[in-house]
Chains A and B, each alone.
Chain A
Amino acid sequence: MVKHNKRKRVVIAMSGGVDSSVAAAILKKEGFDVIGISMQVWDYSKFTAEEGEKFDTCCSLDDIHDARRVAEQLDIPFYVVNFEEEFQRLVIDDFVNEYLAGRTPNPCVRCNQWLKFELLLKKARGLGADMIATGHYARTELDTDGRYRLLKGIDPAKDQSYFLFTLTQEQLAATLFPLGGMTKQEVRALAAAYGLRVAEKGESQEICFVPDNDYVRFIEEERGKNLLSGNIVDRTGKVLGAHDGTYRYTVGQRKGLGIAHPEPLYVLGVDAARKEVTVGPRDALYSDGLIATAINWIIPVPDAAVEASCKIRYRHHPIPCRIVPIGGNRAEVRFAEKEKSVTPGQAVVFYDGDAVLGGGWIEKAVNSER
């Protein structure tokens, strides 16, 4: 961050958690003109209000209160912006639609892509800020050729660059990641050293709008029950059983199939159009590669194949691969060795060491005939 001019106005996205609170504190200490903003994306009263009892209850979210108190502690202006409608349209509807289309979505990438680095950045510019900052564990670096690079956070356990592959050069140029060079342990220590009231706060849950993690119930509350129920079949199409909705299944899943079978069965594929869930043995989960769509390159768009490594889900160690552009922002990604559970709807992110080269969305697994 040394490269950036001090006293610049920067908007920090504050969630009320430890990370964004420490990020705000660091910016303030470094002399930036810091404004804290929490995005209210969800009416949390929906979880508690009983039918017919819901009056005009405003969304009093503990996390927003925490963020506000931290901002008070840091003596920075703090605002809450309401993105409920946009979050519903761009993140939740997408999340549900993806499941109903037989894919396993990643709403956090969508939220970064459309809300934090699009709407919030716009909001920040409207407040006269040149930049936004987040508490992500990732780094940016300005290359000698004037391009921004996106790098992993240095804490391997916390690196969140996977969630940021959609960022454009313009967005990277306007973004600060104050925690990119720190470990979580250091962040916690700093939170304690600054006396931040959230220093002891736990980690946030994975999907913020499904706090009980019961995404099936969430989808059914959004769109109704008994959608997409159908058959569970093997690879030859033989019917092995029935299921209550394709969206209940994710590639690689073993539990909840309810089929007695001599060997363990895994979900190999979900076909929402046919309402079919295909199952098979563990070794059938492995594939040679995948087709990625809607690719965003952080590096200049390559015109030839790229040797790289890739992550096919957030909790995944990068594996060696070859990325072959096939036109239309698509690419075929060929793994050096077969990889398990390629899951349509998840993001595939390309790395060269610490650098994010780009990424895209997994359309399907590919198996070359041999």
Chain B
Amino acid sequence: MIYMDYNATTPVHPDVLEALLPYYRQAFGNPSSIHWAGRMVKGALEEAREKVAALVGCDPVEVVFTSCGSEADNMAVKGVAAALRGKGNHIVTTAVEHPAVTNACLYLESNGFEITRLRVDRRGALNLDELEAAINEKTILVSTMFANNETGVIFPVTEIAEIAARRGVYFHCDAVQAVGKVPVDCRGMGIRLLALSGHKLGAPKGIGALIVRKGVKLHPLLHGGSQERNRRAGTENVAGIVALGKACEMAGAEMAAEAARLKSLRDRLESGILALFPDAQLNGHPENRLPTTANISFPGLEADSLLLNLDLAGIAASSGSACSSGTLKSSPVLAAMGVEPPLARGSVRFSLGRENSESDVDFVLDVLPGIIERLRGQQ
């Protein structure tokens, strides 16, 4: 079995699992409690906060733990909208965001907000002049991703942050796909809000975080107790938080070497596929993207047939975004890039991670020709 869908989720790293297990056993306390059981976990919580802050370049007090990346994105977009409603009702985002941002904006749009969705070019890049021109006196938020989940294309967040800051507008960055894969530095890049998700970097599902830089006005999504400095009510997912801290610590230590290793694997996969199928096309900017992600179109083929065949061969890859029923929808990201529908329909994403090796890549390259030959024979 070969897993090449790390942008969807990652296995929990064994060391992360080791780190979290005590918090499902003896260290079970509620961190808000004053007694020994509470004290046992309170320190771990704050230590994890420091580790997350260290990876993404912010102060520990700026880290708000959430249940997932989607919650973090929702909290940023809706929380800013609620807090700054009196100031303006306009949000600038892009046409290639994750549904967590897209649909939060859609919800706000149905409640009186105006949304500008910036186009991207054929390689998935933003036009910063358009971004600047889209900001008006009613704009309260610019929300873009750091790296695209489907293509891996990286946006120029430092420049985006600079424009937003110059125009006095908050910048929220959905960095769910970037954190742990490429350097992310809220302070250095000028990012005011940043969403991340644990299960994309070796922590379990069910834990994420929103970085809320000091001074940012934001209403909570969840009201209740005073956890997370009143930013996010609800008893903390202590084990998840500890795991996220551990995963961030490990990513900080290993990211550079791991990124280089995965980039060479990814490039081997890509050049292998392009050599086998000269009409295959790479989607997204060839350099300016995550080192782990390859999005490749096979003209004339249907992605789901390809993926089903890969699955039957034990290879997990993906395409577009999956429906809850498990069917595939055509990708709005590739459509926004202007990828022609016949190419978009035949696009497959391989996203690599910790457990992939050269032999995995070679196995995929061995299996693909037979599958593609069979599918082309069906036409």
Chain A positions near chain B (C-beta within 8 angstroms): 35, 40, 52, 55-56, 58-61, 64-65, 68, 77, 79-82, 122-123, 125-128
Contact = CB atoms under 8 A, between A and B. Distances in A.
Contacts of A123: 305
Nearest to A60: B324
Given A40-B325, A79-B326, A126-B305, 9 more contacts: A35-B312, A40-B323, A56-B99, A58-B329, A59-B323, A59-B325, A60-B324, A82-B329, A128-B374
7 contacts: A35-B312, A55-B107, A58-B325, A59-B323, A60-B324, A80-B326, A128-B374
B305 A127 contact: yes
B280 interface: no
Contacts of A65: 325
Interface string B82-107: 00000000000000000100110011
A52 B110 CA distance: 8
A77 B325 CA distance: 15
Nearest to B104: A55
A215 B309 CA distance: 39
A81 B302 CA distance: 11
A55 B103 contact: yes
Interface in B329-379: 329, 374-375, 378
B325 A64 contact: yes
Contacts of A68: 326
Given A55-B106, A82-B328, A126 B323 contact: no
Interface residues on B, range: 20 to 34
A297 B110 CA distance: 55
A58 B312 CA distance: 25
A127 B107 CA distance: 40
B125 interface: no
Residue among B106, B324, B329 with most chain A CB within 10 A = B324
B304 A77 contact: no
Given A40-B327, A80-B325, A127-B312, A56 B103 contact: yes
B267 interface: no
Residue among A52, A125, A126 with most chain B CB within 10 A = A126
A126 B325 contact: no
Contacts of B305: 123, 126-127
B378 A125 contact: yes
Nearest to B307: A79
A126 B327 contact: no
B308 interface: yes
A80 B378 CA distance: 19
A100 to B, nearest CB: 30
Nearest to A63: B325
A275 to B, nearest CB: 39
B312 A61 contact: no
A61 B374 contact: no
Contacts of B378: 122, 125-126
| Main DSSP-derived SS at the A contact region | mixed
A249 to B, nearest CB: 36
Nearest to B301: A126
Contact of B309 (A40, A56, A81, A128): A128
B209 to A, nearest CB: 25
Given A80-B326, A80-B327, A127 B309 contact: yes
Contacts of A40: 323, 325, 327
B311 interface: yes
B374 A126 contact: yes
Contacts of A56: 99, 102-103
Contacts of B107: 55
A59 B375 CA distance: 27
A61 B309 contact: no
Contacts of A58: 323-325, 329
A128 B312 contact: yes
Contacts of B311: 77, 79
Residue among B103, B107, B325, B328 with most chain A CB within 10 A = B325
Given A35-B312, A128-B312, A61 B326 contact: no
Contacts of B323: 40, 58-59, 80, 82
Contact of B308 (A55, A59, A79, A82): A79
Contacts of B304: 79, 81-82
B110 A61 contact: no
A191 B327 CA distance: 27
A367 B187 CA distance: 87
Contacts of B375: 126
Contacts of B302: 126
B9 to A, nearest CB: 18
Contacts of A60: 324-325
A81 B304 CA distance: 8
A61 B99 contact: no
- Enumerate the 7 nearest inter-chain pairs by beta-carbon distance, A residue then B residue, closest first: A58-B323, A82-B327, A58-B324, A80-B326, A126-B305, A80-B327, A60-B324
A81 B327 contact: yes
Interface string B102-122: 110011001000000000000
Nearest to A35: B312
Contacts of A125: 374, 378
Contacts of B325: 40, 58-61, 64-65, 80
Contacts of B102: 56
Contacts of B312: 35, 77, 127-128
A300 B79 CA distance: 71
B378 to A, nearest CB: 5
A66 to B, nearest CB: 12
Nearest to B322: A58
A182 B107 CA distance: 52
A82 B326 CA distance: 9
Given A60-B324, A80-B325, A126 B99 contact: no
B300 to A, nearest CB: 12
Contacts of B324: 58-60
Interface in B279-329: 302, 304-305, 308-309, 311-312, 323-329
A34 B304 CA distance: 18
A87 to B, nearest CB: 12
A128 B313 CA distance: 11
A310 B198 CA distance: 64
Residue among A52, A58, A125 with most chain B CB within 10 A = A58
A127 B308 contact: yes
Contacts of A61: 325
A174 to B, nearest CB: 13
A58 B304 CA distance: 17
Residue among B110, B312, B326, B328 with most chain A CB within 10 A = B326
Nearest to A129: B312
